[in-house]
Structure 1
Amino acid sequence: MKENINILKNLSNEEKKIFNSLQNEGPITKSEISRLTEIKLTTLNNTMEILEKKRIIVREAIGQSTGGRRPVLYDVNLLEFYIIGIDISRVYTQVIIANLKMEILYKEMFNMDIFCSPQETVRRIYEIINKANQNLRLDSRNLVGVGLGTVGPLDIKNGIMISPVNFSALGWSNVPIKEMLEKKLNCPIIIENGVNAAVIGEYFYGIGKGVENIAYLNCGIGIRTGTVLSSKLMRTISDDEDALGHMIVDVHGEKCKCGNFGCIESYSSINAIIKKFSLEVKKGRKTIINKQLKNIGYKDICIAAERNDNLSKEILIGAALILGTGLVNYINLLNPGLVILSGPLIINSKLFYNECIKTVFKKLHPDRMKKIIFSRGGFFKENAISIGAVALVIKDIYN
């Protein structure tokens, strides 16, 4: 597969410009391509002929006439080329197959249980991709690339998951995940922090188009944050993604796994919510959830809250209050024009999202509120990280 993986990366500068214009704006006419790329017509005709022969671009349709011959509309080839996007989190792993315009052709996920060691996770990813290849009858020669968005902290240069915590399975320390996947899939992998991948996807192809400053929060077992400032991805020194999660909101508060006290993650993460719920039940509080305490998960609490279970509502509202307070601090520091909240807690609890935003409205200066758009899930919702991983591959073509 490796010899075919550079089919789009090896394009000339003119070919990349044409591909870029069609990937973002197509189907469009040749005159529109010329305007967007600023390539002279003779060069454009020759270059487009080469791209058509390679089947990278196709004649999509006939446009509306403006008085003369009806123009031909061109687009990237959405039927043959495909990209694989992988999202590895502590809660689940998801694999998607997408075309050149981020449209999902196939999607499958599995929960990250106690059996999902790094080796088992890679094996399951490989199985899903094989199944997708069979179901979609994909030609491996048309695979553009594979992107991976995963939990940090990461050594991105060497593709190593350094010391992520709170996986259910053992073995998730100093994992050469990039190398493991490359050996199994026999092709190069582009790796990035999951939330960075998500915010990149939203910035280029989703709700963040045209917004220079974006804050993206993934609320799950950790509070993970990806940020675009002045149209550039902001990185921490060690490429951590949990800076907001370890913002201290109570110096005398709960002890956090990081060693400090009163971090947001100690109150507003999945594990913190389950822990608080369990403590309250042990104190004698009542709930409509009819399960053994050890088997109650965050989804049970989210569902119960929607059914007006007082304890579940109280726990989620309290957690949202803390996250919302931290988010106000984050907004004051970075001044984003768009704030996207996503992740398992947001997707599964409208109450949690609404209460978080309500807190922001109460605590943030009204003048600043007028300049911010809030989104629950963004454009790509629960697929944001895996779609973002696909976007990494597309952006790598241009770079």
Structure 2
Amino acid sequence: MQVVSIQERIGSRKHKDIYERIRRQGTVSKIELLEQSEMTGSTLTRTLEELTAQGWLIEAGLGESTGGRRPILYQTNPDAGYVFGLEISRLSTKLILCDLHLNKLASQSWQMDSTMTPAKLLPVIADSAIAMLQSRNIEAGQVLGMGVGAVGPLDRFTGTILEPLYFPAAGWRNVHVSGFLEERLGIPVKLDNGANTALIGESWSDRNRDYRHLLYIHAGVGIRSAMMSNGKVVYGAVDMEGSIGQMIIQTDGPRLGDHGNYGSLETFASIHALEQQAQARLKQGRESSLRYKTTDPGEINFAHLMQALQESDPLTVEIFSQAATYFGIGLSNLLNILHPEKVILGGSLISTHPSFFQIATRVAIRNTYHYPNYQVVFSQGHLGEEALVAGAAIMIINQLTEL
């Protein structure tokens, strides 16, 4: 099946430029576009007419008069196309279908347990995507593509998940996600790491603010990060998603399992680290309400910890506070190196309790070298747990105006 390139759907540079300007501003008049662009009035008029005739733009009424005729307002047409966003994480996988204004038309989620191998999950995703389109009478040709935000490391050029850690099911090694889904669905499928797509989503949701340098950190089973500079995601020579988790913050520290650096940030501030800390302290005889949640201290998991934290169990509060402090130290190292204007923190550890965010950011500021001359904005984002999957869909829409 012939896959239509996303970049070719809107042909010329000037068409892409005008479409992107309108998309970012929501509703714009021709007068405003004339002031913003370098086009002549006749060229702009012709461009707007062509984009409208092609279905990419719609007229959205009339603006306020400034003395003459009321100007026509333009906005992008939400029904000019559709996009899928897909999140593949260690705990869950989620698929959404959206129009071009990111209005969610359908959604499906799957828990990632020990049975969710790639051989089982990918066909289910494809079948679900097909069913979503059929139930809304949407043809495959109307779909721009599917964006996938996944756990790394991965190769975004070949669309392959490489060797991720901590998946509950076997088989998640060298999985050609994009190729499989493209063949089944007949649409372009673009893979990137989940931290990057989450940052794309958060950046788009806050596009009216002029933040040029953004840092996103997701703290959960692992620690994942992404950086954006001048509106573009920063890519390294290899996929960098989990690299900050291996930042060494205690040279004689322990190691998490049988991989990674000794004394790394992930060893002190991740779901597995908290579970191990709780299990070890219970075995040492520490008193805690955790002791009554399971007969075997070795079976204590993150769900137990969240329950105990809500109960203000002293041991659990101590474990989370210590993890937040270490996370703040790692965060300060990043601030001292990268100097972002805004830092967005997401993931299960951040959202579990307000104290984690508060402690981590306070420690980070205290250890930031140029503070208070260097000011940084901390946020838990606008999209919450939807950031990754929404950003995956936005990643596809963004390609409409790429050259």
Q: CA deviation at 1:247?
A: 0.6
Task: Report what 2:201 is aligned to.
Answer: 201
TM-score normalised to structure 1 length: 0.91
Mapped to 1, the partners of 2:390 and 2:105 lie a distance apart of 11
Q: CA deviation at 1:381?
A: 1.5
2:87 and 2:94 in contact (8 A); partners too = yes
Task: Please give the per-residue CA displacement for 1:131-167, whole angstroms capped at 9, x wherever unaligned.
Answer: 4335544343321221111111112221111111110
Counterpart pick for 2:293 among 279, 291, 294 = 291
Task: Report what 1:73 is aligned to.
Answer: 73
Instruction: Give the SS at the match of 2:94.
Output: strand
Mapped to 1, the partners of 2:282 and 2:71 lie a distance apart of 69
Task: Report what 2:359 is aligned to.
Answer: 355
Instruction: Give the SS at the match of 2:19.
Output: helix
User: Is it true that 1:339 corresponds to 2:340 in the alignment?
Assistant: no
Task: Report what 2:123 is aligned to.
Answer: 123
After TM superposition, the structure 1 stretch with the greater mean CA deviation from structure 2, 28-37 or 264-273, is: 28-37
Task: Report what 2:278 is aligned to.
Answer: 277
Q: CA deviation at 1:83?
A: 1.3
Task: Please give the per-residue CA displacement for 1:17-36, whole angstroms capped at 9, x wherever unaligned.
Answer: 12111111131112222223
Decide whether aligned partners of structure 1 residues 231 and 46 sit closer, same or farther in structure 2, where only a CA change above 3 A counts.
closer
Mapped to 1, the partners of 2:371 and 2:349 lie a distance apart of 29
Mapped to 1, the partners of 2:114 and 2:287 lie a distance apart of 30
Give 1:77-92 correspondences, 5 Å limit.
Answer: 77-92=77-92
- AA partner of residue 398 (structure 1): T
1:7 and 1:144 in contact (8 A); partners too = no
- AA partner of residue 236 (structure 1): G
2:84 and 2:146 in contact (8 A); partners too = yes
Q: CA deviation at 1:200?
A: 2.7
User: Is it true that 1:268 corresponds to 2:269 in the alignment?
Assistant: yes
Mapped to 1, the partners of 2:21 and 2:400 lie a distance apart of 13
Task: Report what 1:174 is aligned to.
Answer: 174
- AA partner of residue 305 (structure 1): L
Q: How many residues end up aligned between the 2 structures?
A: 398
After TM superposition, the structure 1 stretch with the greater mean CA deviation from structure 2, 167-176 or 128-137, is: 128-137
Task: Report what 2:382 is aligned to.
Answer: 379
Q: CA deviation at 1:320?
A: 0.9
User: Is it true that 1:26 corresponds to 2:64 in the alignment?
Assistant: no
Identity %: 30
1:58 and 1:75 in contact (8 A); partners too = yes
Task: Report what 2:106 is aligned to.
Answer: 106
Question: C-alpha root-mean-square deviation of aligned residues, in Å?
Answer: 2.4
1:203 and 1:210 in contact (8 A); partners too = no
Mapped to 2, the partners of 1:23 and 1:385 lie a distance apart of 21
1:95 and 1:108 in contact (8 A); partners too = yes
1:146 and 1:393 in contact (8 A); partners too = yes
Mapped to 1, the partners of 2:208 and 2:191 lie a distance apart of 21
Task: Report what 1:388 is aligned to.
Answer: 391
Mapped to 2, the partners of 1:96 and 1:209 lie a distance apart of 26
